[in-house]
A and B are shown apart, each in its own frame.
Chain A
Amino acid sequence: MPPVNDPAERHTLSMLVDNEPGVLARIVGLFSGRGYNIDSLTVSEVSHASHLSRITVVTTGAPMIIEQIKSQLDRLVPVHRVVDLTVVGKAVERELALIKVRGKGEIRQEALLIADSFRARTVDTTLESFVFEITGKPEKIDQFVSLLEPLGLVEVSRTGVAAIGRGPEGM
């Protein structure tokens, strides 16, 4: 069987790109045009002076597809560098989420207790709602959200994954 049918893996790719109009469209268009998955996408300028943005994409695919995605990204003209952080070694991956719950009485107490045990901060409070801020690995946030689900979860806003390699070297 062609190796494309190998089991899918989850990889985090980080890239430095010229911060110019259309660069995000190029990257997103590449994923949709070639049928690759985007599980999460984070974009922000990291160097104002040199007009560089860092984009982090979490994607899933067979190893051969992941290799393809990396080479396809790498040949886009405004892309300076692409690193597969999953291959390079354990990277630090963090995501931030804002989560709103609504409720009264005991349910409120319960939500606060859970938030506390996840080290989430309360950033907005009314008599019938909270907004929590939590930072951590995506799985941790998933878990937090699922615990809040029965306690009046209203909405969730997540940043997507930011990632960086461990150790002294840059990408």
Chain B
Amino acid sequence: MMREMTGAEMVMQALIDQDVEHMFGYPGGAVLPIYDAMFHQNQVKHILVRHEQGAVHMAEGYARSSGKVGVVLVTSGPGATNAVTGLTDALLDSIPLVCITGQVPTHLIGSDAFQECDTVGITRPCTKHNYLVRDINDLARVMHEAFYVAQNGRPGPVVVDIPKDVQFAKGMYVGPENIQHRTYQPRLKGDPEKIKAAVEMLAKARRPVLYTGGGVINSGPEASRVLREFARLSGYPVTSTLMGLGAFPASDRQWLGMLGMHGTYEANMAMHDCDVMLCIGARFDDRITGRLDAFSPGSKKIHIDIDPSSINKNVKVDLPIIGDVKHVLEDILTVWRGMKAEPDRKAIASWWSQIDKWRARKSLAFPSSTRIIKPQQAIKSLYEQVKDKDVYITTEVGQHQMWAAQHFHFEQPNRWMTSGGLGTMGYGLPAAIGVQVAHPESLVIDIAGEASIQMCLQELSTALQFDLPVKIFVLNNEYMGMVRQWQDLLHGGRYSHSYSESLPDFVKLAEAYGGVGIRCSNPADLDGAIHEMLSVNRPVLFDCLVDKTENVLPMIPSGKPHNEMIMPDHPEALDDAIDEEGKMLV
């Protein structure tokens, strides 16, 4: 379809042609023509945010929970710079976004014009790709290409910077039909020889483990289904990173729980002692490997990843397979069946009995209390009441995030949105709003900390404006708990600036926004209060006053190997767990 229109109209038309239903944005001088074009249509619904960082996190929550590309629209200068945190977050967590930024007119670029900033320069290292569109004749193609790049291969954020004169200029619009990227064509299918080699290694394994990650979620729900099928067929144990939770059902007997710094004892010990590791869409992050030279020393490692730069980045693997999780796992299944592969059932059984011994250590245990709400208990109680509902969970960053990962259990992919790579406090509330936009009938809960929630709390106003009844469940320990925990660990318990002073009255604050506030401090009242939160069909801020001194355990202290975890039955080991070298790490 070729049609003459203005640049601003092209932007809207491209969004419509890309099946965009919702976008998140904030107006300003340099994007007014696009806002005007938006005014003349009603296919794409615009959610007006309160801060551009919120817009990007909303788009992230929207994308991660729906599998679609999240779309953001912000103005030049401060609009663009405010979006940078969200873009970086999306880059590190591989979330597909298209972020349109306004720019000063082309003839003023470089003159320090009002609200000018070098948006493509600033966002170059925090996007998968970015474009400055100087010519109206490039605009439609660039818009379609941006969607293609954002969602193909390893997903990521793409910025399209459009000067104001280009938004007014007229040109021919081209549809997305014939746009194919010249160079960027990631491969989906794995090399058949390598797949065969992988099946042979896997079938011979005596102590195998499947180490799954965010790439399974990125690959789509089918990937989770194939993963489950392979796990069932082989009988092998499955663990996952923070980013992959839900890809494999937590209720399954083969599920070991999350691995890594705050993962379970059984998951980390299985990683340490395995003889064959199948890494599926995970990137050997430092939260996972612990001390690199002691990481799973005796295993052969197979790594499925769509991005060649994830291969051999931190850990040298024996068999890399470049490809998409779903495609590669499907082929592994086919070859496995074709070869009539039969694992050594005796060896696998004795591996499981070893794993069961590790499980019996109950690494997620915590002391109960009738006097004070334990944060872990708060998550458990919440989980018990919502587990049979159609529920989506987002989090902020800190201890509450880890307790949510440990004590809330997921059966399905795309139900858990958290900021893993960048660890952005302030992510959870806007992400929850984005999820609610994509799933208006579902229950959406942001599990938060009292410090993090203050970073993007203004978005509560967005939730109210658009009737998005998100629930904010604050584990209020009056501390930046995760910081306090590390000060215990590294700095002799000197709590320099980690106490949350001068906290607002969250109940009144929620009411001031027009939402509902609930406070609970007594373990006996907790279930009732949660029930009350769930019965309100409006945004609720739940201020849950919890134990101020609790630490997240188990923990692999930084710089230590997997088999030197600090366990909840010996929490005192936290005090001098980290040596001089480990102190340098984060």
Contacts and interface: CB of A to CB of B under 8 A. Distances in A.
Contacts of A79: 183
Interface in B148-163: 149, 153-154
Interface stretch (B201-209, B303-311, B362-370, B539-547): B303-311
A18 B131 CA distance: 13
Interface string B274-296: 00000000000000000011000
A22 B132 contact: yes
B387 interface: no
Contacts of B292: 2
Nearest to B126: A33
B124 A72 contact: no
Interface string B205-243: 000000000000000000000000000000000000000
B44 interface: no
Interface in A1-43: 1-3, 18, 21-22, 25-26, 29, 33
A1 B308 contact: no
Interface string A47-70: 000000000000000001001100
A25 B121 CA distance: 8
B149 A77 contact: yes
A75 B308 contact: yes
Main secondary structure of the interface of B (DSSP, over half): loop
A29 B124 contact: yes
Max chain B C-beta neighbours (<10 A), residue from A3, A21, A74, A79: A3
Contact of A64 (B120, B125, B308, B316): B316
Given A74-B308, A77-B183, A78-B183, A22 B149 contact: no
Contacts of A74: 308-309
A18 B293 CA distance: 40
A44 B293 CA distance: 42
A25 B124 contact: yes
B120 A22 contact: yes
Interface residues of B, number: 24
Nearest to B129: A77
B309 A72 contact: yes
Contacts of B153: 75
A22 B128 CA distance: 14
Interface residues of A, number: 22
B132 A21 contact: yes
Contact of B293 (A2, A22, A25, A67): A2
B491 interface: no
B312 interface: yes
Contacts of A29: 124-125
Interface in B67-122: 120-121
Contact of A77 (B128, B293, B314): B128
B184 interface: yes
A71 B123 CA distance: 21
B97 to A, nearest CB: 15
Contacts of A2: 292-293, 314
Given A2-B293, A64-B316, A80-B183, A75 B309 contact: yes
Nearest to A1: B293
A77 B184 CA distance: 6
Contacts of A77: 128-129, 149, 181, 183-184
Contacts of B313: 68
A99 B182 CA distance: 42
Contacts of A75: 153-154, 307-309
A71 B125 contact: no
A68 B309 CA distance: 6
Nearest to A33: B125
Interface in A136-165: none
A48 to B, nearest CB: 17
Nearest to B291: A2
Contacts of B128: 77
Contacts of A76: 129
Interface in B140-188: 149, 153-154, 181-184
Contacts of B184: 77
A54 B465 CA distance: 53
A18 B181 CA distance: 12
Contacts of B307: 71, 75
Interface of A: 1-3, 18, 21-22, 25-26, 29, 33, 64, 67-68, 71-72, 74-80
Given A71-B308, A71-B309, A75-B309, 5 more contacts: A22-B132, A25-B124, A77-B128, A77-B149, A77-B183
12 contacts: A1-B293, A18-B183, A25-B124, A29-B124, A68-B313, A74-B308, A75-B307, A75-B308, A77-B128, A77-B129, A77-B183, A78-B183
Per CB-CB distance, the 4 closest pairs between chain A and chain B, nearest first, are A71-B309, A71-B308, A77-B129, A2-B292
